[in-house]
Structure 1
Amino acid sequence: MRRALILMLFLSLLQGALAYAALGSAPSNFGDAPVRQAARSLAAASGDQVYTVSQSTLDSGTIVREYSDAAGIVFAVSWNGPTLPDLRTLLGDKFATMTSAAAKRPKAGHSQLAVEQSDVVIVSNGHMRSFAGHAWIPSALPAGFDTNSIE
Structure 2
Amino acid sequence: MRRAFTLMLFLSLLQGALAWAALGSAPSNFGTATTQSRQASRLAATATAASSEAVYTVTQSTLDSGTVVREYSDAGGTVFAVSWSGPTLPDLRTLLGDKFAVMTSSAAKRPKAGHSQLAVEQSDVVIVSNGHMRAFTGQAWIPGALPAGFDTTSIE
Q: Considering the TM-score relative to the shorter chain, is it more than 0.5?
A: yes
Matched position secondary structure for 1:28: coil
Aligned to 2:36: 35
Q: For 1:121, which of 99, 121, 126 is the aligned residue?
A: 126
1:6 Cα deviation (Å)?
A: 9.3
Q: Which TM-score applies when normalising by structure 1?
A: 0.90
Question: CA offsets per residue over residues 16-73 of structure 1, 9 Å max, x none?
Answer: 3331000000000012342333211101132110100000000000000000000000
Paired-residue identity, %: 81
Is 1:24 paired with 2:24?
yes
Contact 2:34 2:62 survives alignment (8 Å): no
Structure 1 33/128 Cα, relative in aligned 2: closer, same or farther at 3 Å? Answer: closer
Contact 1:80 1:133 survives alignment (8 Å): yes
Q: Which TM-score applies when normalising by structure 2?
A: 0.87
Per mean C-alpha deviation after superposition, the further-off stretch among 39-48 and 29-38 is 29-38
Could you tell me how far apart the structure 2 residues matched to 1:5 and 1:92 are?
29
Matched position secondary structure for 1:42: strand
Could you tell me how far apart the structure 2 residues matched to 1:81 and 1:33 are?
15
Alignment of 1:1-151 (within 5 A): 14-31=14-31, 32-44=33-45, 45=47, 46=49, 47-151=52-156
Q: Which runs of 5+ in 1 are unaligned?
A: none
Q: Which runs of 5+ in 2 are unaligned?
A: none
Letter of the 1:100 counterpart: S
Matched position secondary structure for 2:123: coil
Letter of the 1:36 counterpart: S
Structure 1 128/76 Cα, relative in aligned 2: closer, same or farther at 3 Å? Answer: same
- What root-mean-square deviation, in Å, do the aligned CA atoms of Structure 1 and Structure 2 show? 2.2
Could you tell me how far apart the structure 1 residues matched to 2:145 and 2:41 are?
16
Letter of the 1:126 counterpart: G
Matched position secondary structure for 2:29: coil
Could you tell me how far apart the structure 2 residues matched to 1:109 and 1:69 are?
35
Contact 1:36 1:52 survives alignment (8 Å): no
Structure 1 106/13 Cα, relative in aligned 2: closer, same or farther at 3 Å? Answer: farther
Could you tell me how far apart the structure 1 residues matched to 2:139 and 2:27 are?
15
Matched position secondary structure for 2:39: coil
